[in-house]
Structure 1
Amino acid sequence: MKKEGNSIKYFMKTKINFFKRLYINSYSFLFKNKKVLLLGFLLITINLLFLGKFSRFLGTNISVPKSDFIEIQKTINWIYLIFTIVFIIILYNVIKLNYRLSRYWYFWTVYISVIYIFLRKSKYLDFHTINSFPLSWLNNLNLYYSDVIFLLPAFSLLVFLKNIFTKAKNNTPSIYLKEDLPLNGTDSVQNEKVIDKIVKSIDGFYPEVAFVIGINAKWGKGKTSFLNRLKKKLILKNKDLILFDFNAWQHQDEKTIINNFFGLLSEKLSKYNQNASDSIQKYLNSLLALEDNTYSKGLKQISQTLFSDTPSINSFYLNIQKNVKDTGKQIIVFVDDLDRLNKEEINEAIRLLRNIANFNNIIFICGLDRSYLERKGELEAGYLDKIFNLEINLPEQNEKNFLEALVNYIKKTSNNILDEKKKEKLIETLYYNKTENTNLANRFDPTHTQSIFSSKSNFPEISIDNVINVNTDNNVEKTSLNPSLFFDSIRDVKKFYNKLIFNLQILEKLSNINIYDYILFHLLIFKYPWMYELFNDKIISQWLTTQNGNELIFNNEKYKKVHSEIFSKTPLNNIDSIVINTVLDELFNKHRKGQEIRINQKRYLPIYLNNNIFNDSLNYSQIIEAIDNFKVEKLIEDIKNDDNEIEYLEDIKNQIIKRENLQNLKGFKELFLLINNNIIREISSTEIVSVLAWALNAESGINKKELKTLLNTIVFVKIDNRLGLFLRELNIHYTNNKGSELKIKSPHLIRNKNHSIEQLELIDKEYVKEKLITLFSNFLKETKNLSSVIDILHWCVEYSFTDLNFYLYYQEISNLFKEYLSENLKEFIEIGINNLDYNFLATIFSNENKDEIIQGAIKVSNSVGNLTQQFNPYKIKFIETGLNNFIDFLNKKSNDNLSKDIEKIIKNIEKDIENGISL
């Protein structure tokens, strides 16, 4: 029963609220449109008086006789039906969109509908009835075709009701974003005492001529909030005064400034004096229509004629004076944002204040930036002193208020944006609240959470114009940080808050950053936006020194040089330099809690710069976590079949091979496994050189013995995978450079300006040779594909004379191949009988004259001229020996199945030997 009673109460309350809203909105509509409704009533009344004559005229001139209409009725029915359906669809969409119809639409809809209702009964008009219609039920309603007009008022009423009961969404506040709006006057402001003094000073003050008060402060320093609060207190003090706002900057030109001011003045005064409106209009017309109707010329004469004996304009001016005085009311006009005007508008606004509207009982209160007005308006020094009877310089906002405002914004942030723990962390990082439980000793502990600004009860007294308490540490000028170094106004605080919270939404997890570094970094780029450019990869190495491959160290001298070269158009004063130095020193040269994820770690810097955004599918912290936890393969698996899979794989590869992400043996192990398993693809030889060079670098901290074990067990384990290819490329590099006599350059494939092959200490010539022999032997045991074996064998050279197109293979490799060839001779004959490479065969089977051929090749390679012809005498003898050995090898291996083919090969080789084998 109780539940049922509550339901009835809720139902009744809902109904009452509905009718209450209907009454309020309807009354508001009627009140706002009373003039239009009155005009409509008059027009309808006049039309009804002459309705008979009007209907007789229409019936005579536009009615279609019934006999004529019947002949075309079938066609008309279909046209009418289609038109009606389309018309209803259009009106339905208007309702669905909650379209706002103009009051003119309502006016003419009601007017036409009312007139039609009366005309419908006219005996002079023949409104044809609907019959023989495709929709048969319409035939029984005795409707006229013209009754379609009733759709307009019906749908207009529905639109009107939907507009009333559909709440506008444009006033819904953001869940966290702060608008750049001044206070509405309800809340107290910092300069409350100044406001109270102004209210007290002008209370009951009725000046003989206009009294002008200027509230002077830089743009964004809180003038509008100050004026709004002042308005509120003036109204509370004296509800009988006339008060209105005049926003000069909202007008299109200087002419409309005058016009609109007097329009507002007329509207306010006409409520108390019936003569005021007429006097003001005549005065305004005289101002705007002097001489040849040229506005600019007329305005020049205003000052001359205003107080002269010219009867028209002066008499109108005096009439306004009298009307204002007769009201017996104080008139206060607020003129804000004079510092938004251009030169002509500034001069016009000043003329308005001091000449054109210089009436009694009026007090102008103006918000301005004096220096802007003087500069933009090109005013003489001291000119504004003649305009303002009282000028009040708005005191600077207290830096404590900046921090308190920022903290309050954070506290009030919705929990679905920032949970309580995140809010506490942010506030704690901004400052400490002193409590009995606070362990003050922890504040000096470098591992303890730091605070950017001091406790609100203990701000350092630092002057912005003359920074004191500057410390010098490692040639870096520093000072204590306070909010006024980053914020100039509450407007700045709102902007910073919006930016900070928005970026935190993208970042998602505070665990991915050091919160102290994050906030301080954003304060820096908020104050100096151009600093963000210095942090891009192309410039950062010029002013941040890398230590241990990962840690970034701020160098003040390098920074000054970079700034002077790149940002010469952004000069820094002494205060800016000290603030930037202090922040950069804090970020990059100080140890803090959470050292491993700080901004001074190269691997974590991108998180701070890009708010953890890496690409559409990944973020930086995901990649770093995957690298650290040996889960890169799983990460790559997750992005398979993505439209951008290739680009993402390239991105992951670029991250995993960076020095900062290769800080232990585990990282190298993971990378090499990914390469060998072909999960990290398209890795170049220069990139592999860079990785191995860093592994062997002392700064990497990798134990050489452990690294060698890794190379033997994980890295170089197969000769036919990517790292095996790299080993073969290394061999070509070493064989090209064996002996100081050779002047052949390294292949471009593995040249790198930052990492030379010479840095690969453990992976020297002898190591590569030993590995190739071992891996080639293993490879021969696993494959039966002779073509693949020969392809691999071509890389296993001991000497490489590329200019002579001649190579000498390791003897151990040659012996292994000869054994393999014995088992696969049939396949060799099938694939090579018509395309024998004599150089290759000679190198494999010649055990003699190697020293002679090597010395001859060195001699020829270092000479000029036709190298091939010079080398032939050495090469021919070498090849003859090798091929004769090959023939002996074939004869030994001959059998019934191979004899014919072998005989053919032997004959071809013997023939070429007799002809001198000129290749």
Structure 2
Amino acid sequence: MKNEIKLDKFIKFFVLTFLALLSFGIVDYLIETKFILYLSKIRSSYLLDFIFLIILLVYSALQINNCKTTYPDEKKTFYLFLIVLYYSHIRFFSDFQPLQLETAKHFNSRLFYADIIYVVLFLNLGNYIKFFSSNNSNAKSKILLEDDAIEDFDQDLLGNSLKPLVEKLNNIVDQNNFQKAFTIGINSEWGTGKTSTLNLLKKELEKTEHIIIEYNPWMGFDKKVLIEDFFNTLSEHIEQDSLNKDLDEYSNRLLTTPSPLLKDITSYIPFLNNKTPSLEKLFKLINKKLKLLNQKIIIIIDDVDRLDNKEIFEILKLIRNSANFTNIFFIVAYDRSYVNNSIDNINHFHERNYLDKIINIELSLPYFDPTLLKNTFKNLLLEKIGSEYNDKVSYALNNGFIDIEDLFKFRKSQSNFTQAISNMREVKKLVNSIITNYKNILSDINFSDMIYLEILKLKYPSIYRLLYTQKEKILIESKGYLFLKARNEKDKDGNDKEIKIVEEVIANICLKEKIGYEDKQMAIAIINYLFDYSETTRSVFDSGYSSDPDKLLSVDQANKFERYFANVIFENNISENDFKSFLQTSENMIREATINKWIAEGKEDDLKYRLENLKNFSNKEEFENTLKSILALAQSKSNKGDFLIGFDIRSLRDKIEINGQPEDTQLRFYSTPNEYRDFINYLLNSSFPPHRLERELLISALKGPYDPKYGMEFPLTKQEMQSRLEQRFYEHIESKRPMDWDFWGFYHSTKHLNSTEKYQTTLRDYITNDSNRKEFALALIEQIPFEKLIIIRKEFIEQLFGSIENFELYLDKMGLPGLTQEFKDIYYKIKGNNWLGINYKFQNIPFVYQ
């Protein structure tokens, strides 16, 4: 049909052009008698040339600038073509000569002012170039997916799932003829492919001689516009003047009702009393002409879901009554529940079977394997973000969306991907949202959590918003994790029960927004998947046991939460790419420079958190670089104050200790246990004063494993660890470092050496040093808890000097008169008080009562 219309326009164009050529003689006569006399009085000049040139340049610039955006006017182009054709006739084939440019005379050139008409036509034709150029907006790559219905079976990403339905519809139209209109309904929910089905059907129907009409009722505003637009659309596609005239009359009669007064007046005036045919007569006349037309008319009506209640009611009435002609097939796409609700709002009595009286046969979109939807989502997402994220997306879809209710009873079951996302429109929306929001931080998020959050935002935006607008109300932080808050109350039997606050909040939102029970349970399941209920459940899914490679990036990590809603990495966080590059750094100087840079930028907490929670290592280099980084960080000064950053000893032991099973521990990176022990010794030898991390690690290891049943062992023997502590203790004394709490740490870790002469002599020499006298005096004085009384640590003195007598001999040799005299006064007063506490007002010793 479209080809016939194009051919008709083509014929009309040449007929009109031929008639214009025949009329050139008449036009010549008119111009010669009416205009030549006036034109002969005009003379060219340089000023006129200059003005002409300015006008030409300005007009050309404007036309070229608007060329890309201006849509061509076919009538204007046709009239210009006729004018140029006639001008060419008089310019080249007649005695009349147009006015020549003054400047052109000097160059012996035949240029005329009227030649500007060629430029005008040329610039006008330039508007058509955009339709032939391959470099247009449609050819450019798109960042986001377009929510367009498919138009070819090759575009069906769900494996030709719509083909059987299209074939059924085509057979119904092709193999049937009915005396009245036949209506086929396509029932399906929003976004499931109704428009795609109609596009594919239309392409199949165009292979026949049928008249195909796409009618869009949602473009109308009321009953009058809707009916008028329907019959206008019908007339546009049926090119028979007689039939179209009847359709216009029929449409007007449907929309207008003459007043009784006017009807009475015209009945008494003979020349006005021409009786118009009744609606029924017009209807039968149109039916007869449609039969003679001998073509099936297929009227496709899509997007009924967009109409309001009254418009749906009117379009159904139009199909059932007003347009119930022969040879017409209505194919209507709708969501039955939506249409029934609309009918119910207009007329509750008709709601149950009103639609069934209008729709002759109803077909539903076919079932397809939900796995196809999941795979399509994966392919579309990877196409946009890159194949390097294949493993993460695959894990999220295959492992992050599993039913764990039977495995662990701590949480509710999370929803399968295909339960949450059920059609291609939602798939495209989900992909577009991920690309828009997470494009720059894909390496810094947990894909399972991200997809769940985006599903939550897509389907339940109010519930998604409460996660960050009411974070303090529904979540609580503990040990770096976020947990769901709960409150206690009594049940009907008087027993205590805990209620998750988030479930109450979600229930209120669902009630307010009329969200159904199944959707409410889906939202709650998603929240329960994202956040644990308590530390007990958290430990079950701790990163050390989870196979999720991005578990440490989950939204329930307190320092990762905001990035899922702000969609950026904050200044005090380290990106995953930077952290991975850092772990690959083997040069100690580069490693230490990076650590110092991050500390200066306020990222020490994030770096420490990452290193503490890193438990799975892919190779030997990553493992060794991690331990080296821990040591360097622990020995660095904090940006928050004058102290060393340190490190969690239990986390460090977990990384170092072995259980005798090489395949399960870091021993798998080394050929022998001795090789591994050599590396640990090398690592500890890299420590520098005050060797705090090394001391705390060895003291902790000497106490034995945290849980003996797992049989974890430190790679160094007990003798080797004690030897290292002794060595560091002597180094501390020999380097004349202050008697600070690091000294006392080494002292308490080496008390087993107290009986050796070397230990006693070295220790007493260190203590008698004048620079340590004040700290030593303070170490011997102790306050009785909750009282303003002090005592002397008698047991400590006996342990350190062997006896009280030896200590008193030492006192006689002490220097610093003021401090020594005050200490002696305190010492002998407490000794005279039978070693019981006394109250003392200090003058020289900087002791402060607590």
* TM band (smaller chain): 0.5 to 0.7
The answer to whether structure 1 residue 280 and structure 2 residue 244 are counterparts is: no
* Conserved 8 A contact 1:543-1:559: no
Are residue 410 (structure 1) and residue 342 (structure 2) matched?
no
Deviations 1:680-717 (A, max 9, x none): 5xx6xxxx59x99x9799999999xx9xx9997999xx
Once the two structures are superposed, what CA deviation does each residue of 1:391-426 show, in whole Å capped at 9, x if it has no partner? Answer: 52626855x33x31331353466768422x533552
Q: Is the 8 A contact 2:214 2:299 kept in 1?
A: yes
The answer (yes or no) to whether the contact 2:474–2:485 under 8 Å persists in 1 is yes
The partner residue of 2:331 within 365, 387, 397 is: 365
- The aligned amino acid for 1:564 is E
Q: Which amino acid aligns with 1:330?
A: K
Query: Which residue is 2:390 aligned to?
Result: 423
Sort the Cα spacing of 1:127 and 1:606 in 2 relative to 1 into closer, same or farther, 3 A: same
Once the two structures are superposed, the pairs formed by residues 62-141 of structure 1 within 5 Å of their partners are 62-64=39-41, 69=43, 73-93=45-65, 97=68, 100-120=71-91, 127-131=98-102, 133=103, 139-141=107-109
Equivalent pair of 1:56/1:125 in contact (CA under 8 Å) = no
Indicate which of 449, 455, 465 corresponds to 1:533: 465
Q: Does the CA contact (< 8 Å) of 2:297 and 2:327 recur in 1?
A: yes
Which consecutive residues of structure 1, in runs of 5 or more, have no partner in the other structure? 1-26, 298-308, 432-449, 455-459, 461-468, 639-648, 716-760, 764-772, 778-811, 817-849, 855-919
Instruction: Return the match for 2:308 from 342, 346, 368.
Output: 342
Deviation at 1:471, TM superposition (A): 8.4
Q: CA deviation at 1:315?
A: 2.6
Indicate the RMSD between aligned Cα atoms, in angstroms.
5.2
The answer to whether the aligner puts 1:551 opposite 2:481 as a matched pair is yes
Contact 1:279-1:316 at 8 Å conserved across structures: yes
Q: Distance in 1 between matches of 2:611 and 2:246?
A: 86
3-state DSSP class of the match of 2:41?
coil
Distance 1:151 1:173 in 2: 32
Preserved CA contact (<8 Å) 2:190 2:335: yes
Structure 1 residue 374, shift from structure 2 partner: 3.7
Q: 1:618-657, aligned counterparts within 5 Å?
A: 620-621=575-576, 634=594, 652-653=601-602, 656=605
Q: CA deviation at 1:215?
A: 2.6
1:890 maps to which residue? Answer: none
Per-residue deviation at 1:574?
4.8
Amino acid at match of 2:360: L
CA distance in 2, matches of 1:344, 1:425: 49
TM-score using structure 1 length: 0.55
Q: After the TM superposition, which of the residue ranges 365-374 and 579-588 deviates more from structure 2?
A: 579-588
Q: What secondary structure, in the 3-state scheme, does the structure 1 residue paired with 2:461 have?
A: coil
Residue 142 of structure 1 aligns to which amino acid in structure 2?
A: R
In structure 2, the CA distance between the partners of 1:560 and 1:41, relative to structure 1 (3 Å rule), is: farther
Structure 1 pair 150–632 and aligned structure 2 pair: CA distance change class (3 A): farther
CA distance in 2, matches of 1:331, 1:656: 72
Aligned-partner residue type, residue 318 of structure 2: L
- Structure 1's 245 and 144: CA in aligned 2 closer, same or farther, altered over 3 A? closer
User: Contact 2:187/2:365 (CA < 8 Å) preserved in 1?
Assistant: no
1:322 paired with 2:292, answer no
1:130 and 1:292 map into 2 onto residues whose CA distance is 68
* Corresponding position: 1:55 with 2:22: no
Matched, 1:602 2:558: yes
CA contact (8 A) 2:441 2:568 kept: yes
Give the match for residue 215 of structure 1. Answer: 186
Hey, what does 2:753 align to over in structure 1? Answer: none
Go from structure 1 to structure 2 and tell me whether the alpha carbon gap of 1:364 and 1:100 turns closer, same or farther (over 3 Å shift): closer
Q: Is residue 110–residue 153 contact of structure 1 (8 Å, CA) maintained in 2?
A: yes
Q: Partner of 1:602: helix, strand, or coil?
A: coil
**Alignment counterpart, residue 196 of structure 2, candidates 207, 225, 234:** 225
Name the CA distance, whole Å, in 2 between partners of 1:274 and 1:104.
23
The alpha-carbon deviation at position 141 of structure 1 amounts to 0.5
Distance in 1, Cα, partners of 2:97 & 2:162: 77
> Which residue of structure 1 lines up, in the alignment, with residue 409 of structure 2?
473
Report sequence identity in percent: 22
Indicate whether 1:259 and 2:228 are aligned.
yes
Given the alignment of the two structures, is residue 42 of structure 1 paired with residue 19 of structure 2, yes or no?
A: yes
2:119: which partner in 1? Answer: 151
Give the aligned partner of residue 375 of structure 1: 341
| 3-state SS of 2:333 partner | strand
Count of aligned pairs between the two proteins: 613
Residue from 249, 264, 273 that aligns with 2:218: 249
Q: CA deviation at 1:241?
A: 3.8
2:501 corresponds in structure 1 to 561
Q: Do the aligned partners of 1:429 and 1:451 also contact (CA within 8 Å) in 2?
A: yes
Deviation at 1:853, TM superposition (A): 12
* Aligned mates of 2:691, 2:318 — CA distance in 1: 90
1:130 deviates by 2.8
- Cα gap change, 1:625 to 1:101, in 2 (>3 Å): same
1: CA distance, partners of 2:330 / 2:5: 33
The farther-off stretch of 629-638 and 377-386 is 629-638
Asked if structure 2 preserves the Cα contact closer than 8 Å seen for 1:189 and 1:225, the reply is no
Residues 632 and 103 of structure 1, relative CA distance in 2, 3 Å threshold: farther
Structure 1 residue 322: Cα displacement? 0.5
Query: Aligned to 1:488, what secondary structure does the other structure show?
Result: coil
Instruction: Kindly provide the CA deviation profile for residues 323-356 of structure 1, in whole angstroms up to 9, marking residues without a partner as x.
Output: 1122334333222221211233223212211221
Q: 1:84 to 1:618 in 2, by over 3 A?
A: farther
Residue aligning to 1:167: 134
* 3-state SS, counterpart of residue 508 of structure 2: coil
Distance 1:674 1:319, change over 3 A: farther
Aligned pair in 2 of structure 1 residues 541, 104: CA closer, same or farther (>3 Å)?
Answer: same
Query: CA shift at 1:495, angstroms?
Result: 1.9
Task: Give CA deviations for 1:62-99 in whole Å, capped at 9, x if unaligned.
Answer: 5425xxx47xx34323333433444444455456x485
Letter in 2 for 1:214: G
- The answer on whether the counterparts of 2:297 and 2:329 sit within 8 Å (CA) in structure 1 is yes
C-alpha displacement of 1:212: 2.6
Q: 8 Å contact 1:599–1:605 — kept in the other structure?
A: yes
Structure 2 CA distance, aligned partners of 1:711 and 1:60? 112
In structure 2, what residue type is equivalent to 1:620? S
Matches within 5 A, 1:721-870: none
Please give the secondary structure, in 1, of the residue aligned with 2:331: strand
**CA offsets 1:563-615 (integer angstroms, 9 cap, x no match):** 53588334475544544454444444424123444444334445555555446
Classify 1:92/1:534 alpha carbon distance in 2 versus 1 (closer, same or farther; 3 Å): closer
The alpha carbon displacement at 1:226 in A equals 3.6
For 1:635 and 1:111, locate their aligned partners in 2 and report how far apart those are by CA, in whole Å.
Answer: 79
Instruction: Identify which of 459, 473, 485 aligns with 2:419.
Output: 485
Say which SS state the counterpart of residue 146 (structure 2) adopts.
Answer: coil
